[in-house]
Structure 1
Amino acid sequence: MNLNLHFLKERPACLLQLDCVPNWADLSKAEIEDIKEVFDLFDFWDGRDGMIDAVKVPDLLRCAGMNPTIKVSLKHGATKKAGEKQYKFDEFLPVYQAIIKEKEGGTFADYMEAFKTFDREGQGVVSAAELGHVLSGYGERLSDEEIDEIIKLTKLHVDLDGNVKYEEFIKGVLEGQPK
């Protein structure tokens, strides 16, 4: 494995601290190249200085096929305001790795169990209005526009009574997530 250790030129004292040497063994060369390509695109639109603003980390990760919550992104180095922090690629990789390892999402069974609490008659359906309420009122609250986009992307079918099959909805959402 050939690691790019040019950061040591800038911080030679780092050699004395083993914990500061990046551990990229968990990432394949292809993964590093893929995220570097996305990083470079963001850098291109952000001044071509080899750095990206930390406020753009969540957007960069979404472009890379990930869907971290705002909470997870902030926990691992994103910022809420532009100009607070900048990342070089070598500094960004540990952020990327930490977010990959973060397991905040639930499983299919977890989501099914949660939706069953709203399914009063045990028919496998919830009202579309209630689905919208759940998406906008719990967890990472979504806007009406985001809810509409999710419904569109999952190709959710609303029946004549205004109900949706939540199993289909959950499958549609999970299929859109990276494997």
Structure 2
Amino acid sequence: MDKRSLARSKTSCSSSFRLRCPSLNALRLRRIFDLFDKNHDGAITVEEINQALQVLGLDADLSELESMVKAFLKPEKIGLEFDDFEALHRSLNDTFFGFQEESLAEEGGKESEKQDEADLMEAFKVFDENGDGFISARELQVVLGKLGLAEGREMDRVERMISSVDLNQDGRVDFFEFKDMMRSVVVKSC
């Protein structure tokens, strides 16, 4: 990645989806590690990371990915163990979000709130596959399935997930319900 691309990434990224509770962040990161570790051997190879990124619709240059991962591999290992993966995550977090947090602090809370709202809308659109302004149980099931989550195979669990945040009980989640749910997770104190 060249310096211009990195600068664009720094200014377009937001910290709004990083949980502010360290223990929840650790759980989330462990869940991601386990999802990437397809063969459950306790290590994530470059191939497993590449496959996971492709499932998420993110194309990575394999040589760049290899060089990035190699910097965090322990000697004699072919994959990242959890603590290596955590170090890689911290490094990426500092690279992509460190600048953003500083500039947002200088600009004040209103700009941060606008960015958070835009980020939430983008996340909502990922789930709202047909663009009708609602997340149905079927749409949620599709996204969970793409992420390789077991919940994506069980419609009754997906329907329970929907009903747990569906305030008006119409069987689907609108943007305001989605936003309330996400903000309750993001701002939850430890």
Query: Is the TM value for this pair above 0.5?
Result: no
What TM-score results when the alignment is normalised by the length of structure 2?
0.35
Larger Rg: 1
Which has a greater percent of strand? 1
Which has a greater percent of helix? 2
